[in-house]
Every structure is written in C-alpha cells, then in structure tokens.
C-alpha cells in the first residue's frame, strides 16, 4: 500500500507541484467555490491581481521543483488569462518536467498555436454537459461552441504536426444540472475527441459540516478558516442511486473511450455522497500533504488546493524545500496523523484517490 510510506511528519519531495497562476477567471459559474454566488474571491476582486508574483519568481519555483523532478500542474482561476503562461510552460518543458493545465477552455481558440508550440503535455478541460447544459452551468451562451472550435483547431494542428500531445482529459463534475444527462458525456467526449473522460463527484459541505470544520480547524490550529463558505450546499439535487446505476452502465459500455470516476468507486455509496457530507466511507488518509505542494498567485504555499486556509510558507521568503518541511507543514501533518481528516475532507475528492494510480498518471501523462 502506498499509504504506509506516508506516516512521517517529514515528507519526501512532492510528486506534484501545483502553480495557481492567477485567481482571475473569465467565467462566474454558480457552483464555483472561488467565483460562484458565495465564492471566496467575490468580495476582493480588485486586489487579486495586485499581489501576483512575477514571472521570475515562477521561474525560480520551477528551478527548485526541477530538482525534485516533480510534475507541474498549472491552474487558477483561469490560467490562460495569465499573460506569461506560455513562457512559464516553455520554461517547465525546458527542465524536462511533465506539465498540465486545468482550464475552462474558452481561450484555447485564441491560443491553440501557442499551446502546441509550448509542448504542453496535458489539458484538463472542464466540460460539464451537453451544449445546452454546459452553457447553463457556465452562465454564458456560446461557451460550449467556443471551446469546441478551439479544441478542433488544436487537434487539426496536432494532426498536421503528427503530435499526440497535449492529451485532452475532460473533467465533468456531476451536479444537479447535469446528473440526468450524464450518460451523454461519452458522446460529448467523442465530439471533443478527448483521450479520457473523468466524471468527478461534487465537492461540497453542508452547513453542519462547514460548521464542524470551522470548530475543528480552530481547535487544531488556533484561528478561523473561511474557505468553507464558498462550498456550502445543503441539498445537492442529485439522486445518487440513479446516478450510480447510470455510471455503472457507462463504465462497461464505452470501450472506445477511457472513462473514470472517483477512485475506489465500488466502495463509495453515491447515494450517501450526494445525500449529505457526513460520511467518509472509512477513508482516513489523504496523501496530499505528503505528495502535493500548491503555490498560490501571491506566492503563499499550502496543501489543500480547494481549501486554502492553512498556509505553510511563502516563496518570497523561503525556498521550496524549507516550505515543504517547515514547522507549519510538520504541524499540519502531525495533527492529521493524530486526529484524522478534517470535516471538510469528507467531500473533497483528494481523500478518496488511489495515489499509486495517480502517481503513475503524473509520471506518464503530466
Ligand atoms: S471556470 Fe472554473 S474557476 Fe472559473 S468560475 Fe467556473 S468553475 Fe470557477
Ligand atoms: S482531503 Fe482534506 S487534507 Fe486532503 S486535500 Fe482535501 S481538504 Fe486537504
């Protein structure tokens, strides 16, 4: 078991370094923990860009990650809004590291040539439904077609240059708007000519779980967290039982496209997942604090990318190695090992990963 290697408060170098290039986004999806109705960045839009670190600071981070041979994942907000993104990708590739980007895809049409030119390994493309459903979730008509146009241009250029990369993995988060048409997603993936379809379960927290998190976090670390506010949902609007029947059929009846859902899905009741956020299905060891380091747009570092309450260091003041095993990082790991997951972990997909599979994927695909 990969878990057994991760019981020490001092960690081996991370396998993945996530660079959150910007908080800015060109969409405002309702369910987004960052930019949704109660998203955590809404109140502070003006200041977000002022504190972004420079391209030289990003390069410095990449130099340090290269010594670890970590895979680098770029995300945001919307990372293609960052004007230096192609310089950053080229720099990562010049260090022979695998590099992926998580994107809403809207800017691929504008940048497909630069993407190919940068030698990017993989694109995680967020597509949440058929044309109509996707545009409804994104809150902007024409979004689906704009992404499709960009992806088609990207594939055309890949074909012309005889390239396999960047691989395209579609990320579809199952929510109240798309659960009934989830069996259409293999067809959608074919339209985008994707290499993989990932059907992700919804991340959320009921008011009770959010409150439990607030208390438990404060108890452990001595200050109040606030990321939970962007994820509160008391009714998911998803019938988990019907969903699991649909997904079971899909996994076995679509041989031409690689479809995955949450790892260990056979041991997780989708009915309970979507009914509330209290159950943890016996999963108690998230390896993120041992395997993944996230650098936020302002240079601060953390483990839990979607719940950035606990900061373990700052690249403006310390090296990555110092941050990775800083006192704060060790305290987080120690308390995690002693007291177990935090209530917010209950519906965080990272708790449920099969990390052996994930590490292989990072190594081969980026
Ligand atoms: S595209 Fe992504 S980051 Fe932007 S608002 Fe939607 S979910 Fe949030
Ligand atoms: S499961 Fe918990 S510890 Fe792991 S990344 Fe999510 S919030 Fe952080």
**pLDDT-based confidence at residue 1 (cuts at 50, 70, 90):** very low
pLDDT of residue 69: 97
pLDDT of residue 34: 76
Is any ligand 2 atom within 6 A of the Cβ of residue 13? no
Tell me the per-residue pLDDT of 289-326, one tens digit each, with 9 for 90 and over: 999 999 999 999 999 999 999 999 999 999 999 999 99
Residue 196 has pLDDT above 80, yes or no: yes
Residue nearest to atom 7 of ligand 1 (CA): 32
How confident is the prediction for the chain on average, in pLDDT?
A: 94
On whether the CB atoms of residues 164 and 122 are closer than 8 A, the answer is no
pLDDT of residue 4: 62
Residue 36 has pLDDT above 80, yes or no: no
Tell me the per-residue pLDDT of 232-283, one tens digit each, with 9 for 90 and over: 999 999 999 999 999 999 987 777 889 999 998 899 999 999 999 999 999 9
Q: Once rounded to an integer, what is the mean pLDDT over residues 32-57?
A: 77
Q: What number does the ligand 1 atom closest to the CA of 106 have?
A: 1
Is any ligand 2 atom within 6 A of the Cβ of residue 231? no
Which one, of 349, 171, 175, lies nearest residue 264 by Cα? 349
Residue nearest to atom 8 of ligand 1 (CA): 32
On whether the CB atoms of residues 107 and 130 are closer than 8 A, the answer is no
Worst-scoring range by mean pLDDT, 55-59, 67-71, 81-85, 249-253?
249-253
Residue 2 has pLDDT above 60, yes or no: no
One-character DSSP codes across 281-350: TT-----HHHHEEEE-TTSEEES-TTSTT-EEEETTTS-HHHHHT-HHHHHHHHHHHHH---GGGGG-GG
Is any ligand 2 atom within 6 A of the Cβ of residue 341? yes
In percent, the amount of the chain with pLDDT more than 90 equals: 87
Edge-first strand listing for the sheet containing 71-75: 258-261, 196-201, 167-174, 122-126, 99-103, 71-75, 16-20, 292-295, 300-302, 311-314
Q: Which ligand is nearest to the CA of 104?
A: 1
What pTM value is reported for the model? Answer: 0.95
**pLDDT-based confidence at residue 42 (cuts at 50, 70, 90):** low
**pLDDT-based confidence at residue 6 (cuts at 50, 70, 90):** confident
Distance between CA 216 and CA 65 in Å, rounded? 32
Is any ligand 1 atom within 6 A of the Cβ of residue 105? no
**What are the distances in angstroms from CA 171 to CA 77, 132, 174, 180?**
15, 17, 10, 17
**pLDDT-based confidence at residue 47 (cuts at 50, 70, 90):** confident
Is any ligand 1 atom within 6 A of the Cβ of residue 32? yes
Q: Which of 304, 346, 347 has the most ligand 2 atoms within 8 A of CB, as the residue to mutate?
A: 304
């Amino acid at each position: 078991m990969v878990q057994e290697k991760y019981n020490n408060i001092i960690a081996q170098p991370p396998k993945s370094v996530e660079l959150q290039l910007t908080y800015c986004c060109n969409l405002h999806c309702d369910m987004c923990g960052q930019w949704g109705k109660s998203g955590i960045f809404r109140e502070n839009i003006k200041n977000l860009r002022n504190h972004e670190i420079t391209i030289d600071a990003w390069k410095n981070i990449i130099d340090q990650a290269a010594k670890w041979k970590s895979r680098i994942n770029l995300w945001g907000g919307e990372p293609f809004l960052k004007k230096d993104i192609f310089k950053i990708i080229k720099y990562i590739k010049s260090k022979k590291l695998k590099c992926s980007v998580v994107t809403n895809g809207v800017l691929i049409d504008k940048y497909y040539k630069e993407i190919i030119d940068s030698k990017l390994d993989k694109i995680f493309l967020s597509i949440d439904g058929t044309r109509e459903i996707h545009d409804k979730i994104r809150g902007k008509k024409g979004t689906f077609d704009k992404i499709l146009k960009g992806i088609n241009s990207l594939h055309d250029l890949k074909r012309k240059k005889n390239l396999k990369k960047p691989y395209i993995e579609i990320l579809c988060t199952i929510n109240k708007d798309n659960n009934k048409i989830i069996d259409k997603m293999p067809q959608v993936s074919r339209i985008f000519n994707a290499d993989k379809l990932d059907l992700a379960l919804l991340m959320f927290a009921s008011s009770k779980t959010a409150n439990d998190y607030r208390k438990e976090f404060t108890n452990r670390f001595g200050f109040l967290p606030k990321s939970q506010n962007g994820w509160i949902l008391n009714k998911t609007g998803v019938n988990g039982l019907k969903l699991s029947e649909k997904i079971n059929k899909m996994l076995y009846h679509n041989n031409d496209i690689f479809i995955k859902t949450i790892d260990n899905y056979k041991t997780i009741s989708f009915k309970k997942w979507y009914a509330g956020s209290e159950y943890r299905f016996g999963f108690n060891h998230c390896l993120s604090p041992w395997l993944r380091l996230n650098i936020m747009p302002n240079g601060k570092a953390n483990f839990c990318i979607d719940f950035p309450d606990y900061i373990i260091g700052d690249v403006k003041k310390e090296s990555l190695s110092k941050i990775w095993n800083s006192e704060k990082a060790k305290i987080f790991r120690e308390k995690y090992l002693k007291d177990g997951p935090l209530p917010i972990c209950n519906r965080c997909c990272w708790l449920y990963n099969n990390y052996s599979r994930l590490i292989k994927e990072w190594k081969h695909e980026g």
